[in-house]
């Protein structure tokens, strides 16, 4: 694997996690190029060296091997094609290209083969979708999932640094019996739950909810899977939690065997001993790389039904880590230019996933 020159576009909550995750990765990185639209000049420390943040301009992506984008959909739509044209492989964390039929939507534990088809841009899925498909793909492969009903409990860090700060300010104001500042969300988020993530659509669902439906089908390469989601913002700083119910076409084995199947799946950790109060919690999963699954139980109200509780760090596996894993995958497989015709051994890739 050759030494890589990697750009990180956007230095918000996810961008900072991208840098931290890259620093811990095994990628041979010769240079990091932090890129921002404003406030250039600050020094970013990476593996013992200081790198000055540069302002994005024409030509800045020349010589870059991989560009990790976390600057929002509007910026990505403008800048990602420029970066790809200048020779970089873009791994974009926004919603800009996720449903573009010419752009792979990749979770390395689930559909690594999709990455080799890139034409310069690879999309990182939505955070809530990523953790769900990591937990469900092993079951879909064996029993074919027909329908998914999911309710999410999503951390404020998914909105960005301003939301984290506002939650902290509201909590402090509550403790001091002062009026809470409300700017980021329509209502206070402290001590509350908002069933409102992203804009609402004509069908009554939010964009976030429809992302889970559409992205899951694309990642699974199966348009027969139906996903009905209710996405909720809760006063948690980081880690999304999800209550997931599935209905499968084939009969499901006993819960003990399902646990064994998931325990062997890449990127999944089982935490399931409710009698001893063992189940995934956001406070325990923060900073962890894996997707944690617990409360696994048969749904006695339908045939071939299963319930589970899924928790993962939305800034890591839901964003930065998944992007870095994609970078590791394409670098290891020499797919930096894309469009390779060589066959992919998916099982081998999954075994070697970070």
Mutual angle of helices 13-24 and 321-332, in 10-degree steps? 40
Of the candidates 127, 239, 285, 354, the residue annotated as catalytic is: 127
Catalytic status, residue 127: yes
CA angle, residues 254, 255, 257, in degrees to nearest 5: 70
Report the relative pairing of strands 54-55 and 49-52 from DSSP bridges.
unpaired
Catalytic status, residue 346: no
Helices (H), the chain: 13-24, 73-85, 127-143, 161-175, 207-220, 255-263, 282-285, 321-332, 346-351
- Cβ of 74: how many Cβ atoms within 10 Å? 10
SS3 at position 228: strand
Report the relative pairing of strands 89-92 and 66-69 from DSSP bridges.
parallel
d(CA 162, CA 166): 6
Of the candidates 140, 239, 240, 354, the residue annotated as catalytic is: 240
SS3 at position 321: helix
Q: Print burial letters for 255-287: b (CB count within 10 Å at least 16), e (below 16).
A: eeebbeebeebbbbbbbbeeeeeebbbbeebbe
Q: What positions carry a catalytic annotation?
A: 127, 240
């Amino acid at each position: 694997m050759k030494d890589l020159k990697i750009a990180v576009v956007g230095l918000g909550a996810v961008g900072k996690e991208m840098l931290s995750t890259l620093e811990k990765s095994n990628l041979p990185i010769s240079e990091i190029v932090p890129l921002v639209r404003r406030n250039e000049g600050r020094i970013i420390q990476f593996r013992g060296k200081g790198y000055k943040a540069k302002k994005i301009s024409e030509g800045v992506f020349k010589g870059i091997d991989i560009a990790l984008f976390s600057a929002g959909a509007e910026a990505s739509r403008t800048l990602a094609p420029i970066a790809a044209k200048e020779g970089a492989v873009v791994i974009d964390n926004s919603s800009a290209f996720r449903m573009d039929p010419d752009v792979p939507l990749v979770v390395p534990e689930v559909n690594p083969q999709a990455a080799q088809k890139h034409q310069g841009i690879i999309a990182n899925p939505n955070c809530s979708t990523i953790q769900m498909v990591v937990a469900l793909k092993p079951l879909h492969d064996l029993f074919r999932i027909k329908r998914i009903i999911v309710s999410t409990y999503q951390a404020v860090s998914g909105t960005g640094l301003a939301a984290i700060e506002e939650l902290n300010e509201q909590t402090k104001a509550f403790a001091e019996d002062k009026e809470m500042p409300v700017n980021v969300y329509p209502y206070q988020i402290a001590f509350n739950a908002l069933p409102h993530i992203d804009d609402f659509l004509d069908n009554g669902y939010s964009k976030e909810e429809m992302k889970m439906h559409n992205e899951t089908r694309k990642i699974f390469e199966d348009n027969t899977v139906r996903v009905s989601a209710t996405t909720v913002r809760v006063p948690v700083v980081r880690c999304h939690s999800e209550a997931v119910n599935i209905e499968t076409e084939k009969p499901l084995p006993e819960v003990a065997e399902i646990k064994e199947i998931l325990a062997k799946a890449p990127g999944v950790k089982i935490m399931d001993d409710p009698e001893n109060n063992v189940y995934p919690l956001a406070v325990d999963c923060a900073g962890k790389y894996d997707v944690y699954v617990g409360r696994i139980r048969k749904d006695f109200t339908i045939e071939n039904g299963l319930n589970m509780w899924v928790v993962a760090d939305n800034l890591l596996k839901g964003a930065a880590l998944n992007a870095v894993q994609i970078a590791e995958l394409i670098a290891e497989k020499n797919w930096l230019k894309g469009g390779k015709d060589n066959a992919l051994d998916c099982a081998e890739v999954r075994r070697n996933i970070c």
